């Protein structure tokens, strides 16, 4: 039980309400897109129709990388990034680091995309932004992640904005905890026979109380990611390295060792990858080679947390012969408390530390947080409804964002299916989002009553969810039989989840319509009548 004096309780209620109302809609957008971003890679597989189940890291790659290295100018062999593209195919980015005109550390080099047999099917020169930006086949996945990370606001302002929203969530969570006089009682209190306002307040309290620990974790880790690169790195670089961000990066993330510039071919990649997969228990999510083509070349493989742990795994190998050298902490040459803390930030934020199970839990908690934010805004407005109708515009705005944002995100998937075969998904995914957002805003301005507006948008949500699985098939996506025969369960699982969610939403909408029609046809007579 938490007990505060009456004056402090009123203050906390005011802080809780205003911290939510001032940034609530933006915070809602970040949390909703964050819940979707938890399954970003799975959404990418589902939307692009990828049925491959064997990772590029589990297949021979040394010869393909060697041939690409021979075609690459020496200045771009400072480092090589290895990662998966498309349907479990290998991508390699040979590059060096440099500072641009604005003082930002960037990578510049040559990107190679390899086919299933190791042949080079694409070669292009560019910066890391060009290489790691959106492509036609991952336009939907990239759009979802970018919306969550920086709301499509240019750097560094987008990251700063989401960092501020994370702090606002932290304030709302702390103040919400303090105003609960009976915290443990509120976890189970749900008065179903009470008036609608009280019942909605109970649901808000129950969902908020159960998701409080998640809110703390999400807010703290999200703020860490937002402020780390935009504020933390420049300050440390200026204080300890005279503003040299490249020197800071080398000191923090580099693999120290005695330089040996003698020419040597990196023939140990396949042996090292096989050992890394066995040691970490899974294929790498990413790999990097330092000093490619030299005797001191090092391969570092990066893996998701193993064995139910929280910290990701990084392993270092001699790239020339595949000899295992060390387990590498995320930050610094030796393990430290700070390095471990930084290492667990990403698994805690995205919930990928225990595979699908933890992702499902994180998605559910993200959905609960979205519900808490939305109902909190509606309750704040309901308490002020009797005193002033001037806030109706805000109530309409809450409904438009609350239902219109998920509707626009689902419309992005439809736009992706229709445009990906033509190679225009990079344009039509954001265009679809903007068009449906504009439609929702127009409905919000024109609809006569707020309740009817909410029902119309909810109905549209259900209809779009119901339409996406058949649209995926019509536009050339693989069927369930094809996907299951290839061992790819993600595609039918997401189709089924959309169909079930659509059924639930449509049942709710038509159920309410039936209740209203029944009430009109059979009005309850009052005693005076």
Q: What residues contact residue 249 under an 8 Å CB cut-off, 6+ apart?
A: 97, 105
Q: Same structural domain for residues 436 and 511?
A: yes
**For residue 73, is it within any domain?**
yes
- Are 36 and 406 in contact by the 8 Å Cβ rule? The answer is no
Q: What are the mean pLDDT values of the chain's consecutive 10-residue runs (529 residues total)?
A: 57 57 79 92 94 90 94 94 94 91 84 92 93 92 92 85 82 68 56 57 66 82 82 61 62 72 90 95 94 94 82 92 90 73 85 86 87 81 61 85 95 97 96 96 92 93 97 96 92 97 94 76 50
Let me know whether 344 and 395 are in one domain: no
Is residue 147 one of the residues assigned to a domain? Answer: no
Contact 45, 488 (CB under 8 A): yes
Q: How far apart are CA 69 and CA 94, in angstroms?
A: 8
Q: Are residues 308 and 401 in the same domain?
A: no
In a domain, 464, yes or no: yes
- Report residue 155: phi and psi, to 5°: -70, 145
User: For helices 245-253 and 233-240, what crossing angle results, to 10°?
Assistant: 100
**Residue keyed to tokens 């800071």:** 248
Q: 341 and 405, same structural domain?
A: no
Strands of the 120-127 sheet, one edge to the other: 120-127, 105-114, 89-99, 79-85, 286-290, 298-303, 313-318, 324-327
**Is residue 487 assigned to a domain?**
yes
126 phi/psi in degrees, rounded to 5: 170, -175
Same domain, 396 and 511: yes
How high is the pLDDT of residue 525? 45
Give the domain extent around 487: 389-520
173 located within any domain: no
Is 44 part of any domain? Answer: no
Cβ(114)–Cβ(403) below 8 Å: no
Same domain as 397, residue 479: yes
Q: Indicate the residue among 286, 319, 349 that finishes a domain.
A: 349
Please report the pLDDT score of residue 466 as a whole number.
Answer: 97
- Say how far apart CA 31 and CA 16 lie, in whole Å: 18
270 alpha carbon, distance to own chain's centre: 31
Looking at residue 229, the DSSP 8-state letter turns out to be I
140 and 429 in contact (C-beta within 8 Å)? yes
Q: Of 483, 397, 362, which Cα lies nearest the Cα of 34?
A: 362
- Total domains in the chain come to 2
515 with 401, same domain: the answer is yes
* Distance (Å, whole) CA 128 – CA 150: 18
User: For residues 307 and 300, what is the distance between their CA atoms, to the nearest angstrom?
Assistant: 20
**How far, CA to CA in Å, does 78 sit from each of 183, 258, 496?**
56, 16, 46
* pTM given for the model: 0.85
CA-nearest of 351, 309, 373 to 39 is 351
Domain membership of residue 221 (yes or no) is no
262 and 117 co-located in one domain: yes
Given this model, what pLDDT does residue 241 score?
Answer: 57
Report which DSSP code applies to 294.
Answer: B
Tens-place pLDDT, residues 44-89: 999 999 998 789 999 999 999 999 999 999 999 999 999 999 899 9
Same domain, 302 and 426: no
Which of 317, 349, 381 finishes a domain?
Answer: 349
Q: Among 330, 292, 298, which residue's Cα sits nearest to residue 109?
A: 292
Residue 381: name the closest of 370, 393, 367 by CA. 393
User: Is 250 found in the same domain as 125?
Assistant: yes
Q: Are residues 425 and 507 in the same domain?
A: yes
Widest distance between CA atoms in the chain: 101
Cα separation, 251 vs 256, whole angstroms: 8
Tell me if 24 is assigned to some domain: no
Q: What are phi and psi of 107, to 5 degrees?
A: -110, 145
Cβ–Cβ < 8 Å for 180, 203: no
Distance CA 61, CA 48 (A): 24
- For residues 397 and 340, membership in a common domain is answered with no
């Amino acid at each position: 039980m938490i007990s505060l004096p009456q004056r402090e309780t009123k203050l906390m209620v005011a802080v809780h309400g205003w911290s939510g109302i001032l940034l609530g809609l933006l915070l809602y957008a970040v949390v909703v897109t964050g819940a979707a971003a938890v399954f970003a890679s799975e959404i990418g597989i589902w939307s692009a129709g990828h049925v491959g189940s064997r990772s590029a890291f589990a297949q021979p790659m040394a010869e393909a990388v060697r041939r690409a290295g021979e075609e690459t100018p020496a200045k771009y062999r400072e480092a090589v990034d290895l990662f998966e593209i498309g349907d479990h195919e290998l991508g390699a980015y040979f590059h060096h680091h440099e500072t641009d005109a604005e003082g930002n550390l960037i990578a510049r080099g040559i990107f190679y995309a390899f086919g299933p047999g190791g042949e080079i099917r694409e070669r292009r020169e560019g910066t890391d932004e060009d290489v790691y930006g959106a492509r036609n086949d991952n336009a939907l996945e990239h759009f979802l992640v970018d919306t969550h990370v920086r709301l499509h606001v240019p750097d560094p302002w987008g990251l700063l904005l989401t960092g501020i929203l994370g702090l606002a969530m932290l304030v709302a969570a702390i103040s919400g905890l303090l105003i609960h006089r009976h915290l443990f009682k509120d976890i189970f209190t749900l008065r179903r026979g009470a008036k609608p306002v009280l019942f909605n307040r109970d649901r808000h309290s129950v969902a908020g109380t159960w998701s409080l620990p998640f809110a703390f974790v999400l807010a703290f880790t999200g703020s860490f990611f937002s402020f780390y690169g935009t504020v933390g790195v420049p300050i440390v670089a200026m204080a300890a390295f005279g503003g040299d961000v490249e020197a800071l990066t080398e000191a923090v993330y580099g693999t120290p060792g005695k330089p040996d510039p003698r020419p040597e071919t990196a023939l140990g990649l396949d042996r090292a990858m096989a050992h890394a997969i066995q040691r970490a228990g899974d294929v790498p999510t990413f790999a990097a080679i330092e000093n490619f083509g030299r005797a001191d070349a090092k391969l570092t493989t990066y893996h998701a947390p193993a064995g139910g742990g929280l910290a990701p795994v990084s392993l270092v190998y001699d790239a020339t012969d595949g000899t295992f050298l060390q387990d590498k902490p995320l930050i610094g040459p030796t393990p430290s408390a700070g390095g471990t803390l930084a290492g667990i930030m990403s698994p805690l934020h995205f919930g990928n530390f225990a595979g699908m199970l933890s992702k499902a839990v994180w998605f559910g908690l993200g959905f609960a947080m979205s519900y808490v934010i939305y109902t909190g805004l509606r309750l704040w407005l309901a308490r002020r409804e009797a005193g002033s109708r001037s806030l109706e515009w805000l109530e309409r705005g809450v409904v438009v964002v609350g239902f219109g944002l998920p509707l626009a995100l689902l419309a992005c998937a439809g736009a992706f299916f229709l445009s990906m075969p033509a190679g225009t998904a990079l344009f039509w995914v954001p265009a679809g989002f903007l068009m449906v957002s504009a439609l929702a805003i127009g409905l919000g301005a024109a609809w006569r009553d707020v309740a009817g507006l909410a029902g119309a948008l909810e109905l549209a949500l259900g209809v779009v969810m119901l339409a996406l699985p058949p649209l995926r098939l019509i536009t050339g996506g693989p069927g369930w039989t094809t996907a299951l025969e290839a061992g790819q369960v993600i595609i039918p699982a997401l189709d089924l989840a959309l169909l079930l969610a659509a059924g639930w939403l449509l049942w709710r909408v038509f159920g309410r319509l039936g209740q209203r029609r029944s009430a009109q046809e059979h009005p309850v007579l009052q005693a005076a009548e």
